[in-house]
Amino acid sequence: DLGTLFSIRVVGLSLACSYLSPQDSRPLCHWAVDRALHLRRPGGPPHVKLAVEWDSSVTERLFGSLQEERVQDADSVWRQQQAHQQPNCTLDECFQSYTKEEQLAQDDAWKCPHCQVLQQGVVKLSLWTLPDILIIHLKRFCQVGERRNKLSTLVKFPLSGLNMAPHVARRSTNSKAGPGPWSSWKQPICLPTTYPMDFLYDLYAVCNHHGSLQGGHYT
């Protein structure tokens, strides 16, 4: 009698109540499996992790001395994890996407004031000046066909030292402001080689929306 060759354990539960019986005709029909299905991470697929614990003495008598082999996950496992992973980005990536150059279509051709010829130009948004207190409003919904969906992208932001200098319009020292009486805060900024503290921001507060398009609340 070789005894029990291996034991099946549900990963994530206490050892006292996580073992399944391999002799059962339906070993997965167990309350421990049902409980494990509810322990998934937010956004992850329902799944159960099982560990097969072999009796080393019985295994050696059956198969002899075997070298352990590491089992590689299949590509489908990685694709499944990526499909259920919550999308995320950084706040700096949001600014990069907002201020990146955009090639205008031929229908939106721009007439050059010098040669008077329609040109397929490039448009780029930049910040002219920076305020003392910077308030950033992130888009919460997106248009999909005729519906608006709540965005679930996790935006990562620094608690201190947010550098806004890369997103400020660069002007030469001899550039002139446009015609008309411009106030001092509307004058173009000349970026130095080293960024001053005026371009750095520390986090003061965050307002987060919980809910859907039909309702919700702010915290």
User: Which residue has 């248009």 as its token pair?
Assistant: 143
Distance separating alpha carbons of residues 95 and 77, to the nearest angstrom = 33
| Residues 139, 43 share a domain | no
Domain count, the chain: 2
**Domain-embedded: residue 109:** no
pLDDT, one tens digit for every residue, the chain (219 residues)? 445 677 788 877 665 567 777 777 787 777 778 877 777 666 667 777 888 887 777 777 777 766 666 777 777 777 776 666 677 889 999 999 888 888 878 777 878 888 888 888 888 888 888 889 999 998 888 887 777 788 878 889 999 999 998 888 876 555 554 444 444 444 545 545 455 667 899 999 999 888 777 778 888
Distance separating alpha carbons of residues 88 and 24, to the nearest angstrom = 43
| Residues 188, 92 share a domain | yes
| Residues 205, 133 share a domain | yes
| Residues 62, 152 share a domain | no
Distance separating alpha carbons of residues 182 and 171, to the nearest angstrom = 16
Residue 201: domain span: 88-97+128-218
SS3 109: coil
| Residues 57, 148 share a domain | no
